[in-house]
Structure 1
Amino acid sequence: MKQAANPFHPELQRAARLIPNVTMTRRALAVVRFLSRFQRKPRAPEDMAVEDVRVPGPAGAPPVRVRTYRSRKVQGPTPALLWIHGGGYVIGQPEQDDVLCAEFARELGILVVSVDYRLAPEHPFPAPLEDCYAALRWLFAQAGALGVLPERIAIGGASAGGGLTAALAQLAHDLKEVRPAFQLLVYPMLDDRTATRTDIDGTNHRAWNQGSNVFGWSSYLGREPGGAQVPVHAVPARREDLSGLPPAWLGVGTCDLFHDEDLVYARRLEAAGVPCDVVVVPGAFHGFDIITRGAGVARDFRGTFTAALRRALFPVPGVAESAKAG
């Protein structure tokens, strides 16, 4: 993946120069987690009902905290989105996506449920995925009480959250207990074998580099990445048969470490008969829509995947609008 000398989108060039090239290590992880304790938590918008709920966890495991978002203006049963935050499988919490989840809830008139899954390396696979599946089962089981249309429940996530989303779609397909209607994959972390590649020019990668990728996958798998075999459902890109999975949307930038693995996965979904819309953003690095939130290219990207969710959850024209009050 050889990069051009000046590959960044014009709106992202300044940010690309300022982002430090930091590799995630155990020490860096401890620092990031410590600093996150002091981050100011944004107040919930007045038009949004935000609630933390403890739901039954996997067998023998603690309950799972989920954070729910619903517009106070919405009336009647609505679709829902189970959202999974990113963080390389080792950092993060639902609050980091408060703004995005509130936007989903407000713009689409849906219930959003964000999962506070356990993190590696303390809790390697399958704990994070099992927590996400427990939250998904709860969402389906409580659909009536929550005012959710069970046939219109989507799953989605960014980065490692996108990887967990893809794995969750595969797990749900195999267990046949619940079936998500759609999977939203925002620059997903899908393939541990990328961490072993030596042909990648990482000069222009930002926010998540190859060293961090090795650390993230090693922490999640509990072993060095790229081995001959991995546990079933641990690495979405390792699955041979992708047929029967929910329709997907996948977006990634050309300066993202996950660019190649993401496009390969999207092509394999299509080849397996799974509809997959793909958006590639020229000159965009990993997490650009969060780091440069106000840039036009970031707003356009969010608008594109929000529109994809709208099409998936409101297949009949006009339904999205009529679900909102006022």
Structure 2
Amino acid sequence: MASLPKPPYDPELAAALEKIPVIKTMTKEMIPMARPSLSKANTAEQVISGRDISHEERILPGPGGNITVSIFRSAKTASTANDDKPGIYFIHGGGMVMGNRFFGMALVVDWIEQCDAVCVSVEYRQAPENPHPALIEDCYAGLKWLGDNLADLNIDPTRLMLAGQSAGGGIAAGLALLARDRGGPTLCAQLLMCPMLDDRYESTSSKQYAEEGSWSGNTNQMAWECLLGDRVGGDDVSPYAAAARAADLSRLPSTFIDVGAAEVYRDEDVAYASRLWAAGVQAELHVWPGAFHAFDMLAPSAVLSQIASRTRTAWVRRTLLKK
């Protein structure tokens, strides 16, 4: 079958992508081999290296056992301990099947420093060993703990933002729906970076990049199968697992979504933003031309990555520093 026409990669990003070791189609059998190297490459020490940011861990009771969260604070916090800070609840990416609570935190540290924010990043169980709803329930347990301990953490209850990248963005979108439907905790905003929202594999972009990019359509389909099993693509999929399935997007917090134009998630993310607007939700959408999945994390020095990072940080500042 002839390949579909598709937007070309940004030249600088194309050159960067050629240097990234990418598996065109990851299989379920490859997951145990990929996990250790990804976790080893993402540590607390790496996150805070060269930054005036502190790190501590807490162990929380969760629905399937203990949950570990990491708490990151700006050094400014020590000198202004009596002032409530903005709060960020971060959910890491990794296709629902790998990664840890430090993966993607490089995208968050600027917000911690510039907004004098407290960030809580959660470790959650992963598929396929732990299918839905394990992931979302772990993340909700962490968010509920955060909501119950805002005063102890010196977080302003009116400035608690949810953030996630890739699979973490998809979980964050489902978590915003779950928090709405369970009556809290209250969120002021959700920031969804190239979020994984739809299990149905029907979009044009999922087929355009079926066998290429930093996260291919075929790999994405495998990841959804790990999470949902035989339910994937069918009628019995919860919106808390795949937020694109939600019939009602009303009463959600102000939302930022960005995604690459040359990646699998482009169409589902654009559609989600359009549906948020239709439901009366304030949303900001950016589609970065020629950008592959997670381009800003994998090629942070590229010009387009720098623009995307500044744009996202500006939105966070407007959202969290607004009194």
Normalization by structure 1: what TM-score?
A: 0.90
- Alpha-carbon displacement from aligned partner over 1:191-237 (angstroms, at most 9, x marks no partner): 00126879822268411111111111011112252112213522100
Please list, as runs of the form range in 1=range in 2, the aligned pairs for 1:68-83 lying within 5 A after superposition.
Answer: 68-74=71-77, 75=80, 76-83=83-90
* 1:302 corresponding residue in structure 2: 309
Structure 1's unaligned 5+ residue stretches are: 317-326
Q: How far does residue 122 in structure 1 lie from its aligned partner after superposition?
A: 0.7
* 1:34 corresponding residue in structure 2: 36
Q: Distance in 1 between matches of 2:42 and 2:61?
A: 28
Residues 273 and 38 of structure 1, relative CA distance in 2, 3 Å threshold: closer
Contact 1:194 1:261 (C-alpha < 8 Å) held by counterparts: no
- Alpha-carbon displacement from aligned partner over 1:156-194 (angstroms, at most 9, x marks no partner): 101100000100000011011322110001010000012
Please list, as runs of the form range in 1=range in 2, the aligned pairs for 1:1-326 lying within 5 A after superposition.
Answer: 2-4=4-6, 7-19=8-20, 20-36=22-38, 38-39=40-41, 41=43, 42-43=45-46, 44-45=48-49, 47-58=52-63, 61-74=64-77, 75=80, 76-194=83-201, 200-202=207-209, 205-316=212-323
Contact 2:57 2:69 (C-alpha < 8 Å) held by counterparts: yes
Q: Distance in 2 between matches of 1:33 and 1:245?
A: 33
Residues 21 and 35 of structure 1, relative CA distance in 2, 3 Å threshold: closer
- Number of residue equivalences: 313
Secondary structure at the counterpart of residue 120 of structure 2: strand
Contact 1:217 1:224 (C-alpha < 8 Å) held by counterparts: no
Give the 4+ runs in structure 1 shifted more than 4 A. 195-199
Identity within the alignment, %: 37
Q: Distance in 1 between matches of 2:35 and 2:130?
A: 15
Residues 204 and 71 of structure 1, relative CA distance in 2, 3 Å threshold: same
Q: Distance in 2 between matches of 1:231 and 1:199?
A: 21
Which of 263-272 and 99-108 deviates more?
A: 99-108
Normalization by structure 2: what TM-score?
A: 0.91
Q: Distance in 2 between matches of 1:38 and 1:297?
A: 28
Residues 134 and 12 of structure 1, relative CA distance in 2, 3 Å threshold: same
Secondary structure at the counterpart of residue 200 of structure 1: helix
Q: How far does residue 22 in structure 1 lie from its aligned partner after superposition?
A: 2.8
Match of 1:17, as an amino acid? Answer: E
Contact 1:3 1:204 (C-alpha < 8 Å) held by counterparts: no
Match of 1:33, as an amino acid? Answer: R
